[in-house]
Amino acid sequence: MLGAEDVLDPPPRRVLVAGTTGVGKTTTAGRIARALGIPHTEIDSLFHGPDWEPRPTFEADVDAYSAEPAWVTEWQYSQVRAMLAARADTLVWLDLPVPVAFWRLLRRTVRRRVRRIELWNGNVEPPLWTFFTNRDHIIRWGMRTRRKMQQMVPAVERTAPHLRIVRLRSRADVDAWVDRLPRPSE
């Protein structure tokens, strides 16, 4: 497994960003895409239809964009993880400490709810009190799955040996790694 100071040669062209809920996968994926000058497709926008219903074209949409020569996306959703891992050349694992991830998730969820920020296809975060009534509330989901990547990433390292895995353990690691990516004009 590689770290923040390791140089990737050749530069990544098909990048997955992995991590538990709240670690900043989408933000980091966007930063990587801008740095490399390649498209970022937010996988949640393809999965969630109106009223949080899964979109029937999700798998076909993921198949289409991941067949392209260059892209960045988040490594989520069990039904497409294997396909994405087979097509990617790099997986960036945001392995931030659990308290950091939880605080980010809590802050993000409250901000989105209070401001009624539209996420995907008209969806907004549900009322905060649903934390107590909905087993799959995003904060409860984040708490329940906080260590999931610690099994999944080492497993994909064995099943997809072509994949370069970069493990970033702090915000400073993320910043250093993204800052070292070659820019399109380089």
Q: How many residues are given for the chain?
A: 186
| pLDDT score, position 186 | 52
Q: Are 61 and 79 in contact (CB under 8 A)?
A: no
| pLDDT score, position 185 | 66
| pLDDT score, position 2 | 94
Q: What is the mean pLDDT of each run of 10 residues along the chain (186 residues)?
A: 91 96 93 97 95 95 97 96 97 92 84 85 83 78 79 92 96 95 76
Q: What is the pTM of this model?
A: 0.90
Helix ranges (H only) for the chain are 25-36, 43-47, 58-66, 78-87, 98-115, 138-144, 149-159, 171-180
Token pair for 180:
């070292």
